[in-house]
Amino acid sequence: MYEGSMTTSPAPPASTPPAPPVPLAALLARRDLGLRLLAGPGDVPLHWVHTSEMADPYPYLLGGELLMTAGVQLTDPARYVERVVEAGAAALAFGVTPVYDTVPAELVEACARRGLPLLEVPPRTPFTAVARAVWRLMAEARLHELRRVTEAQQSLATAAARPAPVPAVLGALAARLGGRAVLLAPDGTESAAAGREVPPEASRALRELAGVLGPRPGAPASASGESGDLRLAAYALGSGDGPALGVATDRRDPGDHTIAGVAVVLLSLLTAPHRGADAAVRDGALVRLLLGASPAEAAAALDPGPWTVVHARGGDGTPFATADLAASLGTALVEPEPSPAPGKALGKALKEALGEGLGEALGEAGAARVSGAAPASVRLLLPASSPVTARPGWFLGVSAPAGAGDLPAADRQAARALRRAEATRSALVRHRPGGLASLVDPDEAAAHARALLAPLNEPLRETLRAWLSLHGSWDRTAVALDVHRNTVRQRITRCATLLDRDLDDPDVRMELWFALRAP
């Protein structure tokens, strides 16, 4: 009846572009193209356009395409259609002339038999004109989706500022999605609901979906399924051990998941355990510290700590991923760069409407970034006792525990740890105390040392190590190694030749010393 968010059925094409699909009917409605539907349904979604004159196009299709061909190598129409259907193409467009004067009857029959939409492209319409029309329709659909999501964000944020915010947010969500939205308690009972009624079996299925979620290892943050003609979805709020949001709609439109994500962030804040005024003051002081205020300005309002600073970059590319990360850690969120519209407008609304009422400290960037640009790093604050674990899609840099007055230094530690995490492709890197050497990844340092010292055999390395440790003293090195001082001179000269380095240069000596100490 339902399925977890990690398994989808039916799934869209594996590599669909970041734009809503275009209904085939919208393309057929373009009179300037003169397309004619000869077989199959006219309401399939098109994800992209592909032109191929291969006898077997199967290896070159990803699924969801409008495949265009003039039939240059069409020898067996039935087999050709069979392969196109197996590849998952959405529709087939056949251009008449110069190879065929009309669409072959065998091709029309094969498409009708397999339910594959078949379009006739007239001689006056180049394939590029059809492709351009599809891209334009996609751009229009994307713009419509962004407008719809932006309007939904504004209405949900406004609802969250009302005297009874939870029912208001549920009502705004149900209105935007055209269905029912319910808040499910941990035991599965409905604590609040809005929108039209649904059959009892759909309510039962929503409760079952909510039961799939949870804080246990491997449990998904969301789950989807169907009940009759209704599309169902459930979303965990906060850390996953609290209430859940259930949604039932007649269909799933582009942008619905994003709109539901806005509601999840708001409801996670609204249903979080009440926090006292002292916590609000504390979070506000922490945020001011990370935004550049001096420790003296904010330390008076802070608990001594210790605290941990986390720098994060990445996410799954969906809107509000940063807010989900912050909510899962139960902490305040700061983004160093302002989010572009419409995220900035939403962030301002959240800050003004929810900041005081919820005791939440939100940065100027608001709850999340909603642009498609590469995400900037975000900073999070939490007690040092709070666990920080790797998160799928994120690179995390974690500072050492620090008191309130040392948070700026901890912020720099987290930034360096994040850079190491990205450089080594590690999901999580913690600050390692220990001076300058601790700022270099041990594996990278060892690899560099092996390459740098490769020309030297072990006796030469041992002599160089002793000579550097004794500040270049020939006599003391000779005594330490129990050799003649001329032997030391010969070996050091040999090292300089093999390494092609000036051993009188202090920078060279320092680099060699670190290399000789690398594991």
Check residues 338 and 50 and name the one with the higher pLDDT: 50
**Is residue 55 over pLDDT 90?**
yes
Q: Which residues, 6+ apart, have CB-to-CB distance to 108 below 8 Å?
A: 38, 39, 118
* pLDDT score recorded for residue 225: 87
**Is residue 356 over pLDDT 90?**
no
- Closest by alpha carbon to 370, among 425, 324, 437, 306? 324
Alpha-carbon gap, residue 189 to 207, rounded angstroms: 8
Q: Which residues, 6+ apart, have CB-to-CB distance to 27 below 8 Å?
A: 33, 35, 46, 66, 130, 133, 134, 137
Q: Which residues, 6+ apart, have CB-to-CB distance to 441 below 8 Å?
A: 420, 423, 424
- Closest by alpha carbon to 50, among 131, 153, 108, 139? 131
Q: Give the pLDDT band of residue 18 (cuts 50, 70, 90).
A: low
Same CATH fold assignment for domains 162-270 and 442-517: no
Half-sphere exposure of 306 (CA within 13 A, CB side): 12
Cβ proximity of 396 and 390 under 8 Å:
yes
pLDDT digits (tens, 9 = 90+) for 367-377: 332 233 344 57
Identity (one letter) of the amino acid at 64?
G
Residue written as token pair 């009708």: 112
Maximum mean pLDDT: which of 123-132, 225-234, 287-296, 368-377: 123-132
Other beta carbons less than 10 A from residue 433's beta carbon: 7
CATH number of 162-270: 3.30.450.30
- Return the beta strands (E) in 122-184 as ranges: 180-184
Identity (one letter) of the amino acid at 455?
P
Identity (one letter) of the amino acid at 480?
A
Quote the CATH superfamily of domain 442-517. PucR C-terminal helix-turn-helix domain (1.10.10.2840)
- Closest by alpha carbon to 332, among 289, 375, 300, 393? 289
Mean pLDDT of 259-281: 69
Alpha-carbon gap, residue 477 to 167, rounded angstroms: 80
* pLDDT score recorded for residue 31: 93
Alpha-carbon gap, residue 227 to 182, rounded angstroms: 16
- Closest by alpha carbon to 98, among 134, 125, 70, 65? 70
Other beta carbons less than 10 A from residue 440's beta carbon: 15
Task: State whether residue 125 is helix, strand or coil.
Answer: coil
Quote the CATH superfamily of domain 22-135. HprK N-terminal domain-like (3.40.1390.20)
Percent of the chain with pLDDT over 90: 29
Q: Which residues, 6+ apart, have CB-to-CB distance to 330 below 8 Å?
A: 238, 239, 272, 382, 386
Mean pLDDT of 312-335: 64
Maximum mean pLDDT: which of 74-88, 274-288, 392-406, 487-501: 74-88
| Domain parsing of the chain, residue ranges | 22-135, 162-270, 277-434, 442-517
* pLDDT score recorded for residue 292: 58
- Rounded to the nearest 5°, which phi and psi values hold at 460? -65, -40
Check residues 323 and 419 and name the one with the higher pLDDT: 419
Percent of the chain with pLDDT over 70: 74
Task: State whether residue 22 is helix, strand or coil.
Answer: strand
Cβ proximity of 330 and 239 under 8 Å:
yes
* pLDDT score recorded for residue 445: 77
Q: How much is the mean pLDDT over the chain?
A: 78
Q: Which residues, 6+ apart, have CB-to-CB distance to 120 below 8 Å?
A: 35, 36, 38, 93, 94, 96, 103
Check residues 374 and 71 and name the one with the higher pLDDT: 71
**Is residue 416 over pLDDT 60?**
yes
Cβ proximity of 136 and 128 under 8 Å:
no
Report the run of H or E that residue 244 belongs to, with start and end. strand 244-249
- Return the beta strands (E) in 157-306 as ranges: 180-184, 190-195, 222-227, 230-236, 244-249
